[in-house]
Structures are given as structure tokens and as C-alpha cells.
Amino acid sequence: MAKQDNRGIRVQGIQDVERSLKKLGLAPKKSRTLINRALRPAGMILARVMQNEYKKEFNKNNYKRKEGRTPTWKTIGVVTARKSREPGLFVGPVKRKTSPIKVKGKDSFNLTEMQILGNAIQDPRPDIFLKSARKAESRVYMQAEKDLDKLLDKMIKQAGFK
């Protein structure tokens, strides 16, 4: 079962999977890693949809990019929630230096997020992240469910119950 909050998609029922893996004798850290690995393909589906929506919204002009600059749509990706005890992935703009641009004396980070929120010069644009999450919602849920079922079946076979 899955639920959508206002800034992302949250897959419910992962606690059941964790409990099942615990019964099979896996440590919480190991089971969290396995669940995150199983959820990554679903996260990649969402990341690709977000990248395509971003390209449609912001790359309307064909111009030659300056040497050494990363296209901003490439900064949208999947990041594992490392500090969380619960398994989880974040999908969206990844904070990384993308180009040699300085803003107020500091390196430019997260241009994708800035373009959505707007700034002193530009008005805010439509939230492509929320739009693309709604667009790919069913595909993400189905992929996550399929991969978690496959993970449980594999763990049951390894435990010798089948």
C-alpha cells in the first residue's frame, strides 16, 4: 500500500517487510540495505520522469552549453537516506556543485531547486517535481511492490522455507 504526502511518495507496508526479514534472522541494518536496494529501481523511474519534465520546462531554447558545465537536469537523482533508521530514498535535486558559477562568493548549488522556487529576478515556475510524482505514481508503486515481493521470496528461499 502506498501513500502520497504533499512533497513525495511514501511506500507503506515496509515495516511488514522489515519484520519478515527480522524473523528470517537479518539484522536491521542489513534488512534496511536490502530494502533500499529493492526500492532503487522504483526511485530511478521517478528520477527519469522528473528529469524529462525538467527538460520540457526549462530547456526550451537550443543553445550551446559552455565547456565544463553539467546540464542541470542531470542533478536530479536518487539519494539513499543514510541518517535514517528506516529504509528510504530521496528523489529530486541532488546538492552538488554543477558548474564553476559563483553566487555571492560561494559555489552555485542546486540550480534545479532555485529555478522551481524562483528568485529575485525570476517568478516561481510550476512545481515539476510534484507534477512528475503524480504522473509516475502508479508505475513507481507497482515497481516497488514487485521488487519487495521478489526480495521476500528470495530471502524465504535462502532461509530454506521453500
How many Cβ atoms are within 10 Å of 81's Cβ, its own excluded?
13
> Is residue 136 within 8 Å of 45, Cβ to Cβ?
yes
* Distance of alpha carbon 16 from alpha carbon 7, whole angstroms: 24
Which sequence spans correspond to the domains of the chain? 2-59+69-159
Q: What span, in angstroms and rounded, lies between the C-alpha atoms of 162 and 155?
A: 10
Q: Which helix (H) or strand (E) holds 23?
A: helix 14-23
- CA dihedral of residues 42, 47, 53, 58 (deg, nearest 10): 180
Cα separation, 26 vs 23, in Å, equals 7
**For the segment 65-120, what is each residue's pLDDT rounded down to a tens digit?**
667 677 778 888 898 888 877 888 888 887 766 666 676 777 666 667 666 666 66
pTM: 0.73
Which H or E element spans position 58?
Answer: helix 28-58
Per the model's pLDDT, the better-predicted residue between 131 and 116 turns out to be 131
* Residue 108, pLDDT score: 64
- H or E segment to which residue 9 belongs: strand 8-11
Quick: pLDDT tens for 36-49.
899 999 999 999 99
Q: Which residue has the higher pLDDT, 141 or 1?
A: 141
Q: Is 158 or 119 the better-scoring residue by pLDDT? A: 158
For residue 142, the SS3 value is helix
Cell of 1: 500500500
Can you tell me the distance from the alpha carbon of 18 to that of 90, in angstroms, rounded to the nearest whole number? 19
